[in-house]
């Protein structure tokens, strides 16, 4: 089947081949699974354009920075870089499963992972016995397997309605009160333990606002633990 990639790396149709920025193993630092040892797969490409994006190196798909297909170098990066490699979904799942603890947590992140078709990848990861979490802005259709834990993180572009309905948790980045007010109607409609607020860039005022709001609403606080620990 033919595959076409448009600006920002969105795959329109085609076989399950995926652009990968990096693969690494660390503690999940955010949301419900904070502190959980995890395999991370960072997919390349995002068109959402958040001004505070801290993974800008995974936004653009630059052919000049393309590594050989299925390159193990994506699992050997020691610093963030925009270099990427294309993997078949089955090969990618096998690569990660073979290097992970049995039953390990596996996080699909980006970039925007849903700008690519991750249905086969998520199926194969689950079949390999891994627990799969998807971190998404919810701005693209969620083409993932049913057993995936979906973390919706609303960003600069509003999530699709179906993303709110599918989310297992909502993790909202907060700089100012306006960030909370923008999605207040959707957030208060959710069970409180599904909502977490995450201060952007560990800002003092944003952190105080998040604590105050969590205490008032019964929501959770997410602190990007990995940044405090200075780990990936």
Give residues in contact with ligand SF4 (CB under 6 A). 46, 48-50, 53, 55, 59, 110-112, 137, 155
Output 132 or 159, the one with its CB closest to ligand SF4.
Answer: 159
* Residue 51, SS3 per DSSP: coil
> Residue 60 Cβ, how far from ligand SF4 at the closest point, in Å?
10
Residue for token pair 């329109």: 12
- Closer to ligand SF4 at the Cβ: 157 or 194? 157
Closer residue to ligand SF4 (CB): 123 or 138: 138
Please, what is the minimum distance in Å from the beta carbon of residue 55 to ligand SF4?
A: 5
Q: In the complex with ligand SF4, which residue's Cβ is closer, 155 or 171?
A: 155
In sequence order, the 6+-apart residues with CB closer than 8 A to the CB of 185 are none
The CB-of-199 to ligand SF4 minimum distance in angstroms stands at 15
Q: How far is CA 165 from the centre of its chain?
A: 17
The number of CA neighbours under 13 Å toward the Cβ of 149 is 14
Burial tier of 88 (Cβ tally within 10 Å: 0-12, 13-18, 19+): middle
Supply the minimum distance, in Å, between the C-beta of residue 114 and ligand SF4.
10
Q: How far is the CB of 137 from ligand SF4 (least distance, A)?
A: 4
Distance CA 11, CA 100 (A): 28
Q: Which is nearer to ligand SF4, 124 or 155 (CB)?
A: 155
Query: Are 152 and 169 a contacting pair, CB within 8 Å?
Result: yes
């Amino acid at each position: 089947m033919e595959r076409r990639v448009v600006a920002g790396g969105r795959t329109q149709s085609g076989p399950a081949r995926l652009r990968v920025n990096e693969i690494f193993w660390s503690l999940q630092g955010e949301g419900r699974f904070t502190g959980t040892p995890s395999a991370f797969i960072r997919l390349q490409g995002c068109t959402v354009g958040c001004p505070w994006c801290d993974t800008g190196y995974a936004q653009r798909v630059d052919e000049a920075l393309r590594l050989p297909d299925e390159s193990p170098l994506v699992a050997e990066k020691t610093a963030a870089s925009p270099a990427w490699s294309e993997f078949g979904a089955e090969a990618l799942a096998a690569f990660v499963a073979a290097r992970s603890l049995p039953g390990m947590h596996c996080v699909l992140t980006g970039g925007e992972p849903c700008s690519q078709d991750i249905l086969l990848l998520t199926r194969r990861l689950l079949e390999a016995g891994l627990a799969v979490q998807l971190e998404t802005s919810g701005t693209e259709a969620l083409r993932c397997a049913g057993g995936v834990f979906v973390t919706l993180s609303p960003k600069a572009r509003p999530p699709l309605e179906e993303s709110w309905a599918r989310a297992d948790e909502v993790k909202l980045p907060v700089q100012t009160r306006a960030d909370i007010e923008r999605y207040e109607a959707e957030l208060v409609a959710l069970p409180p333990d599904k909502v977490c607020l995450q201060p952007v860039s560990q800002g003092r005022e944003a952190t105080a606002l998040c604590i105050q709001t969590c205490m008032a609403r019964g929501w959770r606080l997410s602190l990007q633990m990995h940044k405090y620990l200075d780990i990936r």
